[in-house]
């Protein structure tokens, strides 16, 4: 029998207008990159009463913290089993709000330091709701196409989206792209690693594991070293993240290159999944008590650690990190180890004492030839090893907040000339607090 009840059937004919087909937005502060550092910058700038535009090439917010399923906040606490929190601001809000949701957070107090496992879906909704409630203008699925620079200032950026072009004019800009995409497109100097790539990782989430039999990191690593060849594994170590009671685990077991060549990057993305599948096969066969019945629930987007970053007015060095140099213009702190993924089979891991603190100076955030641009997160100026110890999410959050305040203080002037004492006062909690 045919259902003849009324259904809408109307259409209209349309044709693209060539002239005036781009959208325009104006703001005080435009942030390119909606990862954890860009989100922190955007929310802090909005709290300061600034009109904010937040842009991302992905059709989603949260950057790698959400979409690559990073799964753990690191570098947020000082070392030792009873460390205090280094970074506040949105870190406090995330810990408070996700802490109220069953199973969304898990504090792991290790002898070295405290890390916090999080549910990426809960974090994703927290980010989206916080940005929406803050009244931030969001342009997602929007990739940088062109940057207009006049003298030492970025005036406008042009974005390509699947629905057409968008132009954003702003007084100040934040490069939170991770790959220094804004600084690069603006034609300012950038750095890349000298001695080969810093490897990224294809994260994978397995469900239906038996967590009562979860092997330790060391057990899995030893077996990978022994039998990795038989499974075609490149990397020989495993970092598993599991929130107890959920029978799922996020696995960090692969090493992928992250070339800045669009064609190679696309191939590598496919190869990363192949590596992840081999690692899953290895776990099922070698540790059946835990993994025999496991299934892949999700693959993250390719995880990228360090690719290209800015040349700042100051470069953070490994010597600064080891010495815990307290810069007059310090804006963020952490005690996270040097965690440099510079070889395919493993990574360098150099830890610090319980009372160690190292700092990020504002100069590492400011491209040397720019007056209204700051970089935050994993594309600030540091040597390869120093960057590996400050690109984790705790200091990323602090850098985002610092960039918002620096641009707020600069107004129409230069971020190179702001009052660093006034900035330090505003960032008091992230620099001094020991609660």
For residue 94, state whether it binds ligand FAD (rule: CB under 6 A). no
Residue count at the site for ligand FAD (CB under 6 A)? Answer: 40
65 touching ligand FAD, by CB under 6 A:
yes
The footprint of ligand FAD on residues 291-310 (CB under 6 A) is 303-305
Least distance CB 161 / ligand FAD (angstroms): 10
Question: 227 vs 356, which CB is nearer to ligand FAD?
Answer: 356
Closest to ligand FAD by CB, 178 vs 215, is 178
Q: By CB under 6 A, tell whether 391 contacts ligand FAD.
A: yes
Residue 415 beta carbon to ligand FAD: minimum distance, rounded to whole angstroms: 18
Between residue 173 and residue 202, which ones bind ligand FAD under the rule CB under 6 A? 176-179, 181, 200-201
Residue 228 lies near ligand FAD (rule: CB under 6 A): no
If phi > 0 it is left, if psi is from -120 to 50 it is alpha, else beta; for residue 80 that is left
203 binds ligand FAD (CB under 6 A): yes
Our CB check for ligand FAD shows the closer of 128 and 210 to be 128
Minimum separation from the CB atom of position 316 to ligand FAD (A): 15
Q: What is the smallest separation between the CB atom of 16 and ligand FAD, expressed in angstroms?
A: 23
**CB-nearer residue toward ligand FAD: 396 or 427:** 396
Any contact of residue 371 with ligand FAD (CB under 6 A)?
no
User: Can you tell me which of 252, 315, 388, 416 binds ligand FAD, judged by CB under 6 A?
Assistant: 252
Measured from the CB atom, the residue of 36 and 316 that comes closer to ligand FAD is 36
Site string for ligand FAD, 33-52 (x = CB under 6 A): xxxxxx--------------
Say if residues 33 and 56 touch (Cβ distance below 8 Å).
yes
- Compare residues 61 and 209 and give the one whose CB is closer to ligand FAD: 61
CA distances from 40 to 87, 134, 320 (A): 11, 12, 25
- In the window 140-159, what residues touch ligand FAD (CB under 6 A)? 143-144
Cα–Cα nearest to 372, from 204, 174, 213, 225: 174
Residues that bind ligand FAD (CB under 6 A): 32-38, 55-58, 63-65, 68, 70, 72-75, 143-144, 176-179, 181, 200-201, 203, 252, 303-305, 377-378, 391-393, 396
């Amino acid at each position: 029998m045919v259902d003849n009840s009324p259904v809408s059937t109307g259409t209209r004919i349309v044709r693209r207008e060539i002239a005036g087909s781009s959208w325009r937005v104006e703001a005080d502060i435009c942030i390119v990159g909606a990862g954890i550092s860009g989100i922190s910058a955007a929310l802090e700038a909005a709290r300061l009463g600034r009109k904010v535009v937040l842009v991302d090439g992905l059709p989603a917010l949260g950057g790698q913290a959400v979409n690559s399923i990073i799964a753990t906040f690191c570098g947020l606490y000082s070392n030792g089993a009873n460390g205090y929190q280094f970074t506040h601001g949105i870190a406090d809000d995330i810990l408070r709000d996700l802490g109220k949701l069953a199973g969304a957070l898990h504090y792991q107090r290790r002898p070295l330091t405290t890390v916090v496992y999080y549910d990426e879906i809960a974090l994703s909704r927290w980010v989206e709701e916080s940005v929406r409630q803050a009244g931030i203008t969001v342009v997602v699925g929007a990739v940088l196409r062109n940057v207009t620079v006049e003298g030492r200032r970025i005036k406008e950026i042009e974005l390509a989206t699947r629905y057409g072009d968008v132009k954003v004019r702003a007084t100040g800009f934040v490069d939170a792209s991770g790959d220094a995409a804004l600084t690069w497109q603006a034609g300012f100097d950038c750095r890349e690693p000298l001695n080969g790539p810093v490897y990224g990782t294809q994260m994978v989430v397995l469900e239906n594991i038996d967590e009562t039999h979860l092997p330790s990191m060391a057990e899995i690593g030893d077996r990978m070293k022994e039998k990795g060849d038989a499974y075609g594994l490149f990397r020989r170590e495993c970092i598993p993240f599991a929130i107890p009671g959920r029978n799922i685990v996020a696995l960090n077991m692969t090493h992928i290159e992250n070339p800045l060549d669009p064609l190679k990057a696309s191939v590598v993305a496919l190869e990363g999944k192949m590596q992840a599948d081999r690692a899953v096969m290895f776990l099922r066969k070698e540790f059946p008590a835990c993994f025999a019945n496991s299934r892949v629930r999700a693959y993250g987007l390719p995880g990228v650690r360090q690719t290209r970053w800015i040349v700042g007015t100051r470069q953070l060095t490994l010597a600064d990190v080891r010495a815990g140099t307290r810069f007059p213009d310090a804006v963020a702190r952490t005690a996270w180890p040097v965690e440099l993924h510079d070889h395919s089979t493993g990574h360098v891991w150099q830890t610090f004492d319980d009372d160690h603190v190292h700092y990020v100076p504002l100069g590492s955030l400011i491209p040397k030839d720019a007056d209204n641009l700051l970089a935050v997160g994993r594309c600030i100026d540091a040597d390869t090893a120093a960057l590996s110890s400050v690109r984790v999410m705790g200091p990323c959050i602090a850098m985002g907040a610092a960039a918002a305040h620096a641009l707020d203080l600069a107004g129409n002037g230069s971020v190179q000339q702001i009052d660093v004492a006034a900035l330090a006062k505003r960032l008091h909690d992230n620099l001094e607090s020991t609660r």
